[in-house]
Structure 1
C-alpha cells in the first residue's frame, strides 16, 4: 500500500514538474529569415494560407499554427525575446502593408475581437491603429 502511495505521489510530482509554467516554445525556427518572407508575397501568402488551413504548412508554419492560439492567449509568455520581436515585426507589416491578409487571420484567430482589445493599447503605443 505504501509503495502505491509513494508511486502516486511521485507520478503527481513528475506531472507538475513537466508542466512548468516557465516552459518555452521551441527555438528550432528562430533563425527563419522574416525579412525574406516579408519581401516575397507568394511566400508570405503561403504562411497566411497555412495559418488559415487553406494550404499545407512547412514545418515552421505547422509549429506556428500549433502555438499561435496559446501565444495569443498568454501574451506570448512562453516566447523568447527573438520570437516576440519577430511577432511584432510580422504583425506591424501585415497590419500596415497587407491589411486584407491581417483581417483574414483576425477573423479566424480572433472572431470576437478579444485579442484586438487586449493588444490595442500596446499597438497604439507602437504607432499602429487597428480601427
Structure 2
C-alpha cells in the first residue's frame, strides 16, 4: 500500500511540475520574411556561427540552438517548431555551405543529426 501511495505521489508531482519551455517572446517572428531574404538569412547564419554581428533576436536564438538541437526542440511550442522548420529549410536550400558549418559547430560528432533531421521533416 505504501508503495502505491509513493508511486501516486511521484506521478502526481511529475504531472503537476511546470514544463520548461522556451520564451514565447519571438513567436510572432516573421520567419517567412527571413527565409525569403537571402541577405538577412546569411546575416543570421553568420551570427549563429559567431562570424558576424547579431540582432537582439539572433543573440537570443543563438543561445537556445545547442539545446534545441540536442532535444529535437522538446522545449519549443508548436509555433516555434514551425518557425524553426521554415528557417532551417531555407538555410539548407539557400545557404548549404553555411548550414553545414552550423551543423559542424552544433553537432560536431553527428550525434543528433538523424533525430534533428526527422524533427525538421516534421516526424
What's the TM-score once normalised by structure 1's chain length? 0.71
- The aligned residue for residue 44 of structure 2 is 47
Structure 2 residue ranges without an equivalent (≥5): 1-16
- The CA deviation at 1:117 is 2.7
Return the offset for 1:101: 1.9
Whose relative contact order is higher, 1 or 2, with alpha carbons under 8 Å and at least 6 apart? Answer: 2
* Distance in 2, Cα, partners of 1:21 & 1:95: 34
User: Structure 1 runs of 4+ off > 6 angstroms?
Assistant: none
1:25 aligns with 2:40: no
Shift of 1:74: 1.5
Whose radius of gyration is greater, 1 or 2? 1
Q: How far apart in 1 are the matches of 2:116 and 2:67?
A: 15
* Change over 3 Å in CA distance of 1:68–1:53 after alignment to 2: same
Shift in CA distance, 118/30, structure 1 to aligned 2, threshold 3 Å = same
Displacement after TM superposition at 1:119 (Å):
3.1
Decide whether the 8 Å contact of 2:35 with 2:86 is kept in 1.
no
**RMSD of Structure 2 on Structure 1 (CA):** 2.1
Aligned equivalents of 1:123, 1:63: Cα separation in 2: 21
CA distance in 1, matches of 2:108, 2:80: 24
Residues 38, 94 of structure 2: 8 Å contact kept: no
Question: 2: CA distance between counterparts of 1:117 and 1:53?
Answer: 25
